[in-house]
Amino acid sequence: MKPSNSRPSGGGKNPFVHELKLTMTEKIKIGLMSVTVFPVRLLLVSFLMLLAWPFAFTASLGRSEFAIEPQSWWRRFIDLCLRAIMRAMWFCGGFHWIKVKGQRVEPSEAPILTVAPHSSYFDAIPVTMTMCSIVTKLESRSIPVWGTLISYIRPVFVFRSDQDSRRKTVEEIRRRACSGGKWPQIMIFPEGTCTNRSGLILFKAGAFIPGLPVQPVILRYPNKLDTITWTWKGPGAFHILWLTLCQPHNSIEIEYLPVYSPSNEEKENPALFASNVRKLMAKALDLPLKDLSFDDIEISLSHGPLGIYDYSSLLEFNQLICRLGLRAATTDRVLEEQARRARKLQGDKLGLEDFAQFLSLPVTDTLKEVHSFFDEHRDGQIDVRRYVIALSTVRRPTKSMETLKLAFKMYESEESGEILEEELAGILEIMLGVKEVQLSSVSLTLGPDTGKITYDDLLHYIQQYPHFALDCLHFKDHPQDFCAGRSQSCNGQSRSKDD
């Protein structure tokens, strides 16, 4: 599988990982704060949140979720009370000063605020300061106390159990945005998930589909110790809350950038609109662009003896199959069926038309790109087994051994259940996202003088080495290539970087 030159590699800091390392001095400070300040802050924050609940509940009574209504005097009074209570709550949590730069415009000028980077549940601070609507999952409405506060700001709820949810959400955003400022502004975090603020990942198009002006808003947390970040791998929600409440002071900066009005081309192409706004915000933040999305999280966090080493090409492949609608439609049963059909071909190559027929899809530009990914010899022919392996890898990156077993089913001999050494090397190249895999370290497991291996023998061998991919294989740009001296291979023999 050959990666496109248009997409950067997956190198650099993983935006979905937050490693929090505390010095001994910081541990002592947190220990002292845990028995002194923390209990008081937690009590005050809880009290203020409970105090806000009856105000939000009362203001929500009898109010339509779909029709805009004139704001009566008593609802305006409740709104002011809620803002004051929420500000007091954040103050008690250590956010004593909130620095705001720029000027937020009126809803009639920019009905949508795009906020990034999204890195924590503390990103709710600008929401409570403005009482803007947000886009959130329906389940958040049932959260005790906080769910009532969320309902008060009349969010756009996402029904994740509804397959048509995305279209309905976009339609509701468009309806409110096109109201001429009658609805409150919608504050949208276009990344769609939390990251560690090491870069801006791909923006979802929902905020940009209406084709109306948006006001970018950027968040900064200039704290010496980052207890704020809450993402996919790292401290959990309660751990983050405890550490943050143990800090003497927590800083946050909110900056409103000038309104961005889309061109005619951007109005017709929401993806281009989103991309250009992302570039503008990344420049203001002085952060790199990371071509990762919510759909790439599991791929970038894969681990284990056959965890993906370089996910750049697999990420591009994943984006393509998402555009084709194949990722969501691929189940374990579908993979098994495709593997069965691929085995019947016995290595026969497929051209573009046959590949489209194999997938029951029309020939499109995106399908051509997928086909070219596996066109090793640039002759317009591919081995569809390699496609199935790649699809299984990106669809279930945490189940690499199941992908390996599926691959063996497509390649193994019916009589002995063995596959050839070069076939195994090709399988591992796709699963690891690397090139030119050499199996010299696994030579003791390969059959004598045959260069073949069974799945059970390989599985037994892998189970002995938790870092099998790095310790027992050699491939292009292997980290050992950049280390001086000789390294020890899995079979106990010395191997230099020149082997």
Position 10 scores a pLDDT of 43
* Start-to-end CA span in the chain (Å): 25
Helix (H, G, I), strand (E, B) or coil at 479: helix
Tokens 């000038």 sit on residue? 258
Position 169 scores a pLDDT of 87
pLDDT in tens, 80-116: 999 999 999 999 999 999 999 999 999 999 999 999 9
Position 133 scores a pLDDT of 93
CB 487 within 8 A of CB 480: yes
Q: Confidence band (pLDDT; 50, 70, 90) for 330?
A: confident
Q: How far is it, in rounded angstroms, from Cα 290 to Cα 285? A: 13
pLDDT in tens, 16-49: 999 999 999 999 999 999 999 999 999 999 999 9
Residue 408 pLDDT more than 90?
yes
Highest mean pLDDT among 158-162, 201-205, 258-262, 410-414: 258-262
Domain ranges of the chain: 24-291, 297-496
Highest mean pLDDT among 23-32, 327-336, 394-403: 23-32
Q: How far is it, in rounded angstroms, from Cα 428 to Cα 451? A: 16
Q: Is 279 or 416 the better-scoring residue by pLDDT?
A: 279
Handedness of CA 283, 287, 292, 294 (dihedral sign): negative
Handedness of CA 316, 319, 321, 323 (dihedral sign): negative
* Residue 53 burial by Cβ neighbours in a 10 Å radius (0-12, 13-18, 19+): middle
112-116 and 214-220: which strand pairing? parallel
Average pLDDT over residues 277-304: 90
pLDDT in tens, 440-469: 666 656 655 667 888 988 888 888 888 888
Entry pTM: 0.82
Q: Confidence band (pLDDT; 50, 70, 90) for 436?
A: confident
User: 312-323 and 365-373 are packed helices; what angle lies between their axes, rounded to 10 degrees?
Assistant: 150
Q: How far is it, in rounded angstroms, from Cα 184 to Cα 391? A: 43
Position 346 scores a pLDDT of 84
pLDDT in tens, 66-77: 777 677 888 889
In angstroms and rounded to an integer, the radius of gyration of the C-alpha atoms of the chain is 27
CB contact set of 62 (below 8 Å; sequence gap of 6+): none
Q: Confidence band (pLDDT; 50, 70, 90) for 8?
A: very low
Average pLDDT over residues 204-230: 95
Average pLDDT over residues 418-431: 90
